[in-house]
Chain A
Amino acid sequence: MSKTATRAGATSKDDICPVCKSSRYLNPNMKFLVNPECYHKMCESCVDRIFSHGPAPCPIAGCKRTLRKARFRRQTFEDLKVEREVDIRRKVAKLFDKEQDDFETLRDYNDYLETVETTLWNLILKIDLEATNRRIGLWQQHLTEESNSTQRTQVEDPSLLTDKSHVILKKGGTQRKNVAGIKQDLLTGVGDEPETGFVFRGLKKRVAPEPEKPYDPYNGWSIEPQYYVVQDDYNVDWITHPKHDPAFTVGGYDVRDLYSRALCDAFGGLGVFIEDEKAPQPSVGAATALPVVDGGGGGGQDVNMDDIF
């Protein structure tokens, strides 16, 4: 409620559109829009009139920027300077998204924050704009390369690629990297800026996440039979007939399942001596003297179970 009120107040002050000079008095529903390109205000009907047929230069005298209709929007803040600063901050924050954990020391992090803030104010106050923009562009390029390189290391060894890069034509990522490298060489030749635009001290090295292993439903366990070796084929007609019987084979039945299961049954528990293993374990001292008296509870732990009736 209060927000709309302030906006109404803002528009009522200068309620004449600088482009068509129509006033709120004539058109009570008039809305003012701005474009983040130049932040010049104009009314909605002017935007429709001028920019409906595609990009056009700003109609305000002295401003020659090309504007597009889609970028026009209602301003959020009363002060257009604040509006612009917020926009710039939003853009820059996307590129400089390091956190304190990414740095080795707090000092390094603070240095980083200061660099970012300086860059921001350069942009906001339009100091050294061209150089700053170029550095940001380089930094952006550096970031995309970095994220690409992590993707590639999962697939193949990058050291192999660089050796033969002159011989074999590479796919997307590598090619782009080579081009970028050349471009950076040119740039570094011209000025004394770092080739990534910015250099931050004390950044921890990024560790690529480990590639995911194929899923193992047995969690590393395997069955290693000690009494038998399963052969691929057996020939005992009346047991192994499913291998020729279409009634079994069309369903995808593999007769080797039968072999391995039958053999596992045949020897599962061969070396299990129940008399030894199930005998009540004598406790160290006392039980040696006592004969086995209470054998009742040895097998079923819950002998006195509830009777449901």
Chain B
Amino acid sequence: MKLTEDDIYRSSTQYRNWSFTPAQLTAQRLKTNQQASERVKAAVARQRAQRARQSQLDSANTSESERNEVVCLTPEEELKLVDTFCDVAQKLGDFCNYPAEITATCIQFVRRFYLFNSPMTYEGQNITRTAMFIANKAESHFLDVEVFSSQCGKNSTAEKILAPEYLIIQALRYNLDVKHPFRALKGGHLELVELARGNLATLPNASQTATELQNEMLQLPRKAGGPAVKMTGPELEKRLGEAYGFAAYILKTAALLTDSYFLYTPSQIWLAAHLLADEPVTLFYLSTKIPPSHPTYSKLVTTIRACATLISSHRSYRSDRSSAEEKDIRDQQAREEIKALVKKLRQCRDPDKVDLVKLNQAQKRDAVHEGGLEENKAKRRKLQREGYEKEADGFWGPDIAKNGGGK
């Protein structure tokens, strides 16, 4: 009974619940969008009907704008908004100086959340902050919610952070483990350096010795398709170090902000990032693992190239390779676009879900239900509990109840 590393990955929740083919991903986003739109339209219609009843009593006219049908966001627009939320999350992580894993986990939480929920239903700002709070806990970086909320901005309170917490956890299907390619990249770098030094333990079925591989590696061309060069050992190690740095940067930015986590495995993602950083070395390294004649090899290279294309298509990747002017123009455009989207979003928010704090309160013990009796009861209970708490805070603690423990 043997398990390969692939089997181990197959047992993860990331593979079982959060990996999709592109078609599935699009279909799911469309479905989420449709469901959310229906809900928004129904909720708005209900609200208008209520208001119309009231205005009949007041004998006032309904305004023209209210008769219009609500214009909902399209799936593409939703995706753009989600990308914006992810950008915001990244900035928040940078601002708070969190380790890369935490920010990365938070971004994946947001992306996973909005795969089954729409920005029209739940507002991005709150969700992002709460996701960051959950990500901190999921990555064993515990912090006080008060401290965190004070870092998040002026209008943020602990209550607002905590309100959607359960909602998010549930939407994540309690899968709090996100498999990142960061440690994987380190593992790959370890092997590459040993390979460059000519003392990497070879695979059992390898045809070449470590020294042969080292010699071959020293002659790898600088660029794909370039002429073969003769490198010294230190030069090669420096080249690997640079490749590592660039790949790590890509993993922390562009790779996170695209759908790569949904479509590819962490192993393929780090190889794609490394491919973008140094193509000849990455391909050579792959060929030492799987012989190029093997059918899996070509398939794997195709997959990794596709992943690299996806990553490199992201704005943050492109902006690094263009001049400052172009970048400014593009950023300006993006900002305008987002502004318009946010404006549109304001028109089609689900009115039922605007105040998450209140909704969360309604779930709790002291929730005030309709009907006077219930209200009285809740109030009395609340007063009672406050009394107990006050007593418990006293120096000698609460009085010991007589007749076997209170009422």
Does the CB pair B6–A299 fall under 8 Å? no
CA A266 to CA B115, docked complex, whole Å: 27
CA A265 to CA B303, docked complex, whole Å: 18
CA A225 to CA B15, docked complex, whole Å: 19
Partner of A271, one of B6, B173, B203: B6
Q: Which residues of B contact A220 (CB under 8 A)?
A: 1
Nearest CB on B from A217, distance (A): 14
Known: A268-B9, A270-B6, A298-B21. A309 touches B353 (CB 8 A): yes
B17 at the interface (CB under 8 A from A): yes
Does the CB pair A268–B203 fall under 8 Å? no
B10 at the interface (CB under 8 A from A): yes
Does the CB pair A221–B299 fall under 8 Å? no
A267 at the interface (CB under 8 A from B): yes
A101 at the interface (CB under 8 A from B): no
A273 at the interface (CB under 8 A from B): yes
> Could you say which of B79-87, B194-202, B214-222 contacts chain A?
B194-202
Does the CB pair A270–B267 fall under 8 Å? yes
CA A269 to CA B290, docked complex, whole Å: 14
Chain A residue nearest in CB terms to B197:
A235
CA A267 to CA B296, docked complex, whole Å: 14
Contact with B along A247-278 (1 / 0, CB 8 A): 00000000000010111111111111111001
B132 at the interface (CB under 8 A from A): no
B120 at the interface (CB under 8 A from A): no
> Could you say which of B23-31, B149-157, B336-344 contacts chain A?
B23-31
A interface size (C-beta, 8 A): 48
Nearest CB on A from B7, distance (A): 9
CA A236 to CA B197, docked complex, whole Å: 11
What DSSP secondary structure best describes chain A's contact surface? loop
Partner of A298, one of B20, B189, B356: B20
Q: Which residues of A contact B17 (CB under 8 A)?
A: 299-300
Chain B residue nearest in CB terms to A267:
B5
Q: Which residues of B contact A279 (CB under 8 A)?
A: 21
Does the CB pair A269–B183 fall under 8 Å? no
CA A295 to CA B5, docked complex, whole Å: 28
Nearest CB on B from A106, distance (A): 45
Does the CB pair A222–B1 fall under 8 Å? yes
CA A227 to CA B187, docked complex, whole Å: 12
Does the CB pair A265–B265 fall under 8 Å? no
Q: Which residues of B contact A308 (CB under 8 A)?
A: 166-167, 170, 363
Interface centre among B22, B23, B200, B363 (most CB of A within 10 A): B23
A214 at the interface (CB under 8 A from B): no
Question: Considering the complex, which residues of chain B in the window 2-58 have a beta carbon less than 8 Å from any beta carbon of chain A?
Answer: 2-6, 8-10, 15, 17-28, 30-31
CA A292 to CA B19, docked complex, whole Å: 17
CA A177 to CA B387, docked complex, whole Å: 80
Does the CB pair A231–B200 fall under 8 Å? yes
Known: A270-B267, A299-B17, A305-B170. A227 touches B31 (CB 8 A): no
Q: Which residues of B contact A229 (CB under 8 A)?
A: 201-204
Known: A272-B15, A279-B21, A300-B28. A223 touches B116 (CB 8 A): no
Does the CB pair A261–B296 fall under 8 Å? no
CA A2 to CA B6, docked complex, whole Å: 78
Does the CB pair B4–A269 fall under 8 Å? no
A290 at the interface (CB under 8 A from B): no
Nearest CB on A from B290, distance (A): 8
Contact with B along A59-84 (1 / 0, CB 8 A): 00000000000000000000000000
Nearest CB on A from B69, distance (A): 24
A239 at the interface (CB under 8 A from B): yes
Q: Which residues of B contact A239 (CB under 8 A)?
A: 186, 189-190
A96 at the interface (CB under 8 A from B): no
Contact with A along B106-126 (1 / 0, CB 8 A): 000000000110000000000
Q: Which residues of A contact B181 (CB under 8 A)?
A: 265
A212 at the interface (CB under 8 A from B): no
B193 at the interface (CB under 8 A from A): yes
A226 at the interface (CB under 8 A from B): yes
Partner of B5, one of A223, A231, A298, A305: A223
Known: A271-B300, A274-B263, A309-B167. A299 touches B363 (CB 8 A): no
Known: A274-B264, A275-B22. A295 touches B28 (CB 8 A): yes
CA A267 to CA B289, docked complex, whole Å: 10
CA A274 to CA B26, docked complex, whole Å: 15
Does the CB pair B20–A263 fall under 8 Å? no
Does the CB pair A262–B186 fall under 8 Å? yes
Does the CB pair B1–A226 fall under 8 Å? no
CA A157 to CA B22, docked complex, whole Å: 64
Does the CB pair B5–A269 fall under 8 Å? yes
Question: Considering the complex, which residues of chain A in the window 225-246 have a beta carbon less than 8 Å from any beta carbon of chain B?
Answer: 225-231, 234-236, 239-240
Report the 4 A-B pairs with minimum CB-CB distance, sorted nearest first. A269-B265, A262-B187, A269-B9, A266-B187
10 further A-B contacts with Cβ under 8 Å, apart from A266-B270, A299-B18, A309-B167, are: A229-B202, A239-B190, A259-B187, A261-B183, A263-B190, A265-B187, A268-B266, A273-B299, A274-B264, A308-B170
Can you report 9 A-B residue pairs in the complex whose CB atoms are below 8 A from each other? Answer: A223-B4, A223-B5, A226-B6, A235-B194, A269-B15, A270-B268, A274-B21, A300-B17, A308-B170
